[in-house]
Structure 1
Amino acid sequence: MPSTALIVIDMINTYEHEDAEVLVASVREALPGIATLIEHARASASPVVYVNDNFGEWRSHHGEILDAALAGRHRSLVEPVVPDENSLFVVKARHSIFFETPLAYLLGQLKAERLVLCGQVTEQCVLYSALDAHIRHFDVVVPDDAVAHIDADLADAALQMMSRNMSADVCTVKDVEFDG
């Protein structure tokens, strides 16, 4: 099995944006799966890389982003997925985890060939990140019970696109294996 990295997308979140209330319900459903993936990746010593929006705060770093999210009104959605001391953290400003970030370089250093994507939002950041991973020749895995959405119909379409057009393995959390 190729070297696998877990990528946790935008889960360190204050939920203070336009679609937050719709998103929160879906995050609650996806949260157990995301937490399970993090636990399994850590147990197998596979890299866990958080890639998170900076929310337009160009002076922010991961500690400030985490502190703001934990101080927010949806702290319970952040606590189960807090990065540990071995987690890696990349700050992004746009939808794709790769767009103008050092992630591709980091994954090269980790010798990762397979990426398990989880987090939010399925029809936005997860979709664009899966496409960018695919064109960079990574094997992509997207557990459909570990991604959250704003629009269920668009999320379903996005998962179909990832499977059909990007050769992503769209599966469930229980089907994901980490190699360490």
Structure 2
Amino acid sequence: MPGPTDRGRRQEGRALIVIDMINTYDHEDAELLVPSARRVVPVVARLIGRARAADAPVIYANDNFGLWRSHHGELVETALARSHAELVEPIRPDGDSLFVVKARHSVFYETPMSYLLWQLEIGNVVLCGQVTEQCVLYSALDAHIRHLSVTVPRDAVASIHPHLAAAALEMMERNMGARIVTAGEVDFTAS
């Protein structure tokens, strides 16, 4: 049976991967992250809307807050019940959104993400969310080594440390061939 390592089938589709935006913001460094998240939430919400309008898959890849018995609905409910619900409500998953629970930084690390993208015939991923210098960076690297094209809209990723985020974006562009653009430049209809 063919699988994610089978390169016989050309994968042209594009998907939006929303990284760790379902967040309780009650963790270390949250006070540094919240201002950046406030700036990107409206941009991410518009990206999600544009992806949905173009029938591009929207895949949420999210930490599980260490709640190993929970499902994605509980994660959303937990985040909405915390003090920064206004950062979650505008970008919450709808009934058509896909959800991958992750335990570590990369959206690929010990998750079904590779197989899901292969099944959906996705060859191009648009990464948005948080944190630029951590989960977005590691996810971009893992996408690159899986021969996926990577786009990162710089105005749709939140950071804890802006100088590290700038370096991470430069590394993604130079070392991984990622397209670093603005959210307005992302075209979900192109392959």
**Bigger Cα Rg:** 2
Letter in 2 for 1:4: R
Shift of 1:2: 2.7
TM-score by length of 2: 0.93
CA distance in 1, matches of 2:54, 2:80: 27
Shift of 1:56: 1.1
Q: Name the structure 2 match of 1:110.
A: 120
Q: Name the structure 2 match of 1:162.
A: 172
Pairwise CA RMSD: 1.1
Q: Name the structure 2 match of 1:25.
A: 35
CA distance in 2, matches of 1:143, 1:32: 13
1:87 aligns with 2:112: no
Equivalent of 1:68 in 78, 83, 86: 78
Equivalent of 2:137 in 119, 127, 138: 127
Which SS does the other structure have where 1:50 is aligned? strand
1:13 aligns with 2:23: yes
CA distance in 1, matches of 2:24, 2:124: 29
String of CA shifts for 1:5-37, please: whole Å, max 9, x gaps. 000000000001011011000001111111111
Shift of 1:123: 0.1
Which SS does the other structure have where 1:113 is aligned? strand
TM-score by length of 1: 0.98
CA distance in 2, matches of 1:72, 1:8: 20
Q: What is the percent sequence identity of the aligned residues?
A: 64
CA distance in 2, matches of 1:49, 1:97: 10
String of CA shifts for 1:21-60, please: whole Å, max 9, x gaps. 1100000111111111100000000000000001111111
Structure 1 segments, 4+ long, off by >4 Å, are none
Equivalent of 2:13 in 3, 9, 18: 3
CA distance in 2, matches of 1:179, 1:101: 27
Which SS does the other structure have where 1:129 is aligned? helix
